[in-house]
Amino acid sequence: MRFVLQLLVMALVGATIGYFLFDLSSNGEEGQAHFQICASAVRINCVVEGDTLWYEGKKIRVEDIDAPEIAHPKCASEEALGQRAKYRFLELMNAGPFKLVRHGDRDTDRYGRLLRVVERDGQSLGMILVNEGLARRWDGRRHPWC
């Protein structure tokens, strides 16, 4: 009986620690890595588009912006702007340490990508792209780029 009680206490302590670790991670995961443009099937730290990246093997959709599509653009100007957004996002990701912060209610989108805002020194990297005309604030709907 004493052994069972010890197991229950250990499980309760473990669950409590896990809860607090999860709760802290929702306030932001700090990181730094060298990013490349995603070009192969192996994707560890790379940028796909101006609003999508892989970090430590996890696919992340930048939660606060919408960048032009590259994979399936509706017109040549969307693809060109999307390429500019992708390379600028790569430059921003390689500029130093960043934080991945969950702001919304959902952890993932319908494609299974983690939803995070990428911040450096409290500033959203996505909003830098918006201010430079390379992305839009995400309002919950896609709008045409053409």
Catalytic residue among 61, 79, 88, 116: 61
CB-based contact 116:102 (threshold 8 Å): yes
Question: What string of H, E and C letters represents the secondary structure of 78-91?
Answer: HHHHHHHHHHHHHH
CB-based contact 135:129 (threshold 8 Å): yes
Rounded CA separation 141/109 (Å): 13
Catalytic residue among 49, 63, 69, 79: 69
CB-based contact 138:64 (threshold 8 Å): yes
**For this structure, is 78 an active site residue?**
no
Catalytic residue among 49, 79, 113, 119: 113
**For this structure, is 116 an active site residue?**
no
**For this structure, is 69 an active site residue?**
yes
Residues with catalytic roles: 61, 69, 113
